[in-house]
Structure 1
Amino acid sequence: MTEGLPLAGRGVVVTGGSRGIGAAVVRLALAQGADVVFGYHSDEKRASALADEMGAAHPGRRCTALRADVADADEARRFATAALERLEQLDVLVNNAGMTRDTVFARMSRQQWHEVIATNLDSMYTVTKPLLMPLVKQRSGAIVNIASSSGLHGIPGQTAYSAAKAGVIGFTKALAKEIGARGVTVNAVAPGLIETDMTAAIPEDKAELLKSLIPGHAFGTPEDVAHLVCFLASGRARYITGQAIEISGGLVV
């Protein structure tokens, strides 16, 4: 490991990597020396632009965008196979793909519930399962799952999302215990209010109220989260596993 490049030579897979936190992880991982394959759901133009930008910024390193609906087992399997083909070696998996369908539980439809659970929680199975054994066989690597403060504390209007992200944390802790002896770490990062498309949709008056609950009176940035993710993905975090680390600026929920 090079001091200035903690991910030098590592192969990284990121789901939901075309925007927000995922895109920040892609950018930082490449800046820290990694080759990256990232998934996107539908916005091919944005994904291609990011891959081209990273290719120009980091010549000699690989940055590949692959379309995948991670809630679909067959698509996730194809994505995993293609990702492995494009990387010399898999060292890091970042499960970042997610979505919300916020509404009070009394009005929540079964479809809304299933969409949120499928994308946020079922994807832990559909993506991690085909990519797990390469990490286990080489007896090294890291899995970083993006959870949420919502999964730690529960948020009104987010019963499905809170349930899914709490499930991600449980998944993380159990898998860490299963494969820790194989040299693979598994951790979760639980962001609070971060400047993404999701928070951009919050009405201004509500956003100001939420900021007042944060000691620093500001939302975090995707880069704040990316730095924690890439630390956990590096050898510097080799003795950290099974943790759900909240990154919320001290938000009181």
Structure 2
Amino acid sequence: MRRAIVTGGESGLGAATVTRLRADGVEVISFDLGGSPDFVVDVSDSTAVNLAVAEVGPVDILVNSAGIVGPNKPLWEATDAEFQKTFDVNVNGTFHLCRAVIPTMIDRGWGRIVNIASMAGKDGNPNLGAYSATKAAVIGMTKSLGKELATTGVLINAIAPAVINTEMNATTSPEVLAHITSLIPMKRVGQPSEVAALISWLCSDELSFSTGAVYDISGGRATY
């Protein structure tokens, strides 16, 4: 049986991923700060991440879903603390988990990592400058790691959702939400289960010739 860590596993895309992977027969360990996760972990804290991963032991799959929206305002109005916190969770958190699990994946000759990016990381969403910047960073990190790991049996890819019907969007201002929803040609938001289905494939043995890629799930919004 494959084993997986899913961060942000108690809500939104993380929770949908936990449900889907368990239905696929994967043993899933959830990391989160709220709810009832298997491990209460602040992904921005590298020491906490390392301790939790050491306790969990080797895993085959990592899904980096923990993330925050950050400040909803023009970039020049964001404070240092707001900007830094968004990077600490969305970028540093992804880095901390990847660094913690990749060596044992390499040793075992098999691994699947999925990083949750966003269409915001490609297009840049207005009044979500910090969030957009972090998701662009996740895309760049994923592309780089894909090349570094290409011959190891460890495959890493990112997904770039458009607006998905999750709790996370409850903290996005209605004006911003309306704007980014209007950009979707299908004229609807996505459902977490739709995203989890893509993640399921990216975590499976069926994935064999893709790494360092970005998979859009955007209702037609993606243009590149």
Question: Which residue in 2 is equivalent to 1:62?
Answer: none
Which position in structure 2 is the counterpart of 1:246? 216
Could you tell me which of 102, 105, 108 is aligned with 2:75?
105
The aligned amino acid for 2:91 is L
In 2, are the aligned partners of 1:148 and 1:192 still within 8 Å (CA)? yes
Does the CA contact (< 8 Å) of 1:68 and 1:76 recur in 2? yes
Q: Is the 8 A contact 2:69 2:171 kept in 1?
A: no
Paired residue for 1:187? 157
Structure 1: stretches of 5+ with no match in the other structure: 1-8, 49-64
> How many Å separate the matches in 2 of 1:91 and 1:241?
16
Counterpart CA distance in 1 for 2:43 and 2:93 is: 5
**Which range is displaced more, 121-130 or 221-230?**
121-130
TM-score, normalised relative to structure 2: 0.93
Describe the superposition over 1:166-208 as per-residue Cα deviations: whole angstroms up to 9, x where unpaired. Answer: 1111110111111111111010011110001122345667655
* 8 Å CA contact 2:184, 2:221 repeated in 1: yes
Change (3 A) 1:184 1:206: closer
1:115 and 1:205 map into 2 onto residues whose CA distance is 23
In structure 2, the CA distance between the partners of 1:214 and 1:186, relative to structure 1 (3 Å rule), is: same
TM-score (normalizing by structure 1) = 0.83
Change (3 A) 1:124 1:204: closer
CA contact (8 A) 1:172 1:242 kept: yes
The answer for the alignment partner of 2:117 in structure 1 is 147
Change (3 A) 1:82 1:103: farther
Output the CA distance in 1 between the equivalents of 2:222 and 2:26: 35
Q: Residue 213 of structure 1 corresponds to which residue in structure 2?
A: 183
Superposed CA offset, 1:59-107 (max 9, x none): xxxxxx11000001111111211221xxxx5111111110022221111
Aligned residues between the structures: 222
Contact kept? 2:119, 2:222, Cα under 8 Å? no
Residue in structure 1 matching 2:62, options 89, 93, 118: 93
After TM superposition, what 4+ stretches of structure 1 lie above 6 angstroms from structure 2? none
**Counterpart-to-counterpart distance in 2, 1:250 and 1:159:** 22
Counterpart selection for 1:73 from 32, 40, 46: 46
What corresponds to 1:32 in structure 2? 24
Identity %: 33
The amino acid across from 1:33 in the alignment is: G
Pair member with larger Rg: 1
Q: Distance in 2 between matches of 1:106 and 1:97?
A: 25
Contact 1:96 1:145 in 2 (8 A): yes
Q: Aligned with 1:188: secondary structure?
A: strand
Amino acid at match of 2:103: M
SS in 1 for 2:206: helix
SS at match of 1:97: coil
Give 1:83's match in structure 2, choosing from 56, 74, 92: 56
- Give the Cα–Cα distance (whole angstroms) in 1 for the partners of residues 154 and 124 of structure 2: 29
Select the structure that is richer in helix.
1
Residue 212 of structure 1: CA displacement? 3.7
SS in structure 2 at match of 1:246: strand
Question: How far is 1:159 from its partner?
Answer: 1.3
The runs of 5 or more residues in structure 2 that have no matched partner are none
1:21 matched residue in structure 2: 13
Tell me the equivalent position of 1:225. Answer: 195
Residue 236 of structure 1 aligns to a residue whose secondary structure is: coil
Are 1:47 and 2:20 counterparts?
no
Task: Compute the displacement of 1:252 (Å).
Answer: 6.5
